[in-house]
Amino acid sequence: MEQQRPPSLEDMALEQVKLYARDLKELYRLERQRREELAEEKLVLEYRIKELKALNELFQSHLEQRFEVEEAYQELLEELRGLAEKLEGGAKEELKQIIARAESKAPMRVGPISRPPRGEGRA
C-alpha cells in the first residue's frame, strides 16, 4: 500500500486561491445582477415621479379653476343681493329666496376663499 503524502504548502495555497477565485466570481455575478435590478428599479421610480408630477399639475389646475368658479359665484351672489335691495315688493322677496336656495346648495366652506400664492404647493 502506498502512503499518501500530506499536501504541500504550495498545493494548499493553490487550492485556497481556486476557492477564493470561485467565491469572487460568484460575488461579482451577484453584484452585477443587483446593479441591473437597481437600474430597473430606478427607471420605474423615475417614471412614477413623472406620473406624480403630471397628476399634481392636473390637480393644481383643477384647484385653480375651482377657485375661479367659486370667486365668480360669490361675485354673482353679491350682485344679486345688491339687486334685491333695490327691488320692491314681491320681486325682492322672490329674489332673496332664490339667493338663499343658491347659498344653501353651495359647497360648505370653513372660511373665506383664499387662493394659495402661485407656485406654492407645486413640485
pLDDT digits (tens, 9 = 90+) for 75-114: 998 998 888 888 888 888 888 888 888 888 876 554 455 5
Say what the pLDDT of residue 55 is: 98
- Global pTM exceeds 0.75: no
Residue 43 located in a structural domain: yes
Confidence bin at 115 (pLDDT 50/70/90)? low
Residue 28 located in a structural domain: yes
Residue 30 located in a structural domain: yes
Q: How many domains does the chain have?
A: 1
Mean pLDDT of the chain: 87
Residue 114 located in a structural domain: no
Residue 3 located in a structural domain: no
Residue 25 located in a structural domain: yes
Say what the pLDDT of residue 108 is: 56
Query: 54 or 114: whose pLDDT is higher?
Result: 54
Residue 77 located in a structural domain: yes
Domain that holds residue 52: 19-105
Sequence-distant (6+) residues with CB within 8 A of 85 are 92
Question: Per the structure block, which three cell numbers stand in for 123?
Answer: 413640485
Residue 74 located in a structural domain: yes
